[in-house]
Amino acid sequence: MSCTQVIYNRDLFTHIVSYLSVEELKVVAEKFRDLLHYDYIAPTKHTLVYGEVQSGKTGKIMDYIQRYMPQLPKLLILQNNVFMQDQYVRALKSRQISYTVIHGQTKTREYRQEQVIVLINNKYRKNALLEYLAKNKYSLKQFCLILDESDQYLHSIRRNPIFTTAKHVLHVTATPFHYKKFPLDDMVMLKPRNNYVGLKEVVFREVMISNENYVANMHASMHNIIGQQFTSVPDGKGIMMITCFNKIVTMKEQAFILSRRHPSIPVIVVTMNTFVYVNGAITMTIKKKNIQKLFDMFDHKNIIVIANRLSNRGINYTNSTYSRHITHQISVASNNYTSFIQKCRIFGVRESNEPRPVLYCIKSTTDGYYDKLIRRLDTVSKIKQQPDKIKNTVRTLKQRCKERGIKGYSKLRKGELIALLQDELDESN
């Protein structure tokens, strides 16, 4: 039987390729997908899309939905946040992309050939999704999976059948530090637009405070920045974001104090219920899912926003015409670089005539926090190369052990391993 006869005998060809490794099968399936009798044999492929905070990742997701394997529906999983769900629904509507949002009322709905199935990542919605997929198992046999901010919940979803049965998984994040050991097939780094302002473009000011009476010193520094620098900026309309506090009660206490000190500035505390303080009193309690409409309500020269979890990922803090952005932000240095970077809602696309936004970093150590962040981001470009380095090192160790009659490099002591690697280094030089 000739090679051509084997390939076009779909049953025989499918049987043969089922013996291949996952890596080999991914190559074969990509080239001969139409010849596979059972398409499920083709393994899941994983692509990582990395883009800086607020650099246009949502637009790339919309492009992916419309252009990549358009015959397959896309399952879009978001972080557990209704603000994010509302933001994506508006983006889908603007592109005229059909969708359905999965929750308790839609879990028994018939699949109507929507292009996107939207889900926020919590156990109730995931259970609703399983019911939805079970009901539509004949019409939803295959789909692609999009994980927005996937590093946040990759560990909890990677063994879920939703994850393992998808034909293609698109991982999207601004902080892909957990992917060094994840078997990616491809990585796409988004190039920010020319007028994008990120970590290297903002004015980064490190504010040193003493560990003694740390909380009181932090509050004093924050009030000093607002009183002497934020409110004194001439012209324009400023928005100050404060992400220093992790408890709602503390956020509300500081909003009360700030609104008393600056009675002409509305202070907005963003939680699932949004509170607006003016002159020491709550003037409004708003249940809004749309941050842009929230900012449209205020025409003041300056606004102060206090947020924590709802500043962490994805949400754009601007008005509906994109004419107002965060001009100042106060954050606290953290050893969790992912969390710090994700909370920098001050990053984003700006007009060329706007002044450079200012990011204040409160810290209690003398080390250069800005330099640490830059080094952390610079490691992103090396993620794709990391698995190859590991494979090459293991291959080298095996070869050196074989040459020296050593049965297994994994049983060597630290000093012996160093000696083997040193031999390799000396030979390469």
pLDDT digits (tens, 9 = 90+) for 274-307: 899 998 888 888 776 678 888 888 888 899 999 9
Give the residue extent of every domain in the chain. Answer: 1-38, 44-189, 196-367, 398-428
Q: What are phi and psi of 128, to 5 degrees?
A: -65, -40
For the four alpha carbons of 308, 313, 314 and 318, in that order, the dihedral sign comes to positive
What's the confidence (pLDDT) of residue 293?
A: 83
SS3 label, residue 12:
helix
CA distances from 171 to 12, 76, 129, 270 (A): 34, 11, 19, 28
Question: Over pLDDT 70: what percentage of the chain?
Answer: 77
What's the confidence (pLDDT) of residue 387?
A: 45
* pLDDT bracket for residue 385 (50, 70, 90): very low
Judged against a pLDDT cut of 60, whether residue 19 lies above it is answered with: no
* pLDDT bracket for residue 117 (50, 70, 90): very high
Instruction: Please name the residues in contact with 189: beta carbons below 8 A apart, sequence gap of 6 or more.
Output: 50, 51, 380, 381
What's the confidence (pLDDT) of residue 390?
A: 44
- Residue identified by tokens 């109730």 is 124
CA atoms within 13 A on the CB side of 391: 8
- Give the separation between CA 37 and CA 14, rounded to whole angstroms: 6
The DSSP bridge pattern shows strands 348-349 and 196-197 to be antiparallel
Q: Are 343 and 331 in contact (CB under 8 A)?
A: yes
* pLDDT bracket for residue 157 (50, 70, 90): confident
* pLDDT bracket for residue 214 (50, 70, 90): confident
AA letter at 290: N
Question: Over pLDDT 90: what percentage of the chain?
Answer: 31
CATH of region 44-189, choose from 3.55.50.30, 1.10.10.10, 3.40.50.300, 3.40.50.720? 3.40.50.300
User: Are the folds of 44-189 and 196-367 the same?
Assistant: yes
Return the bridge partners of 172, or none.
49, 148
CATH of region 196-367, choose from 3.30.450.20, 3.40.640.10, 3.40.50.300, 3.30.210.10? 3.40.50.300
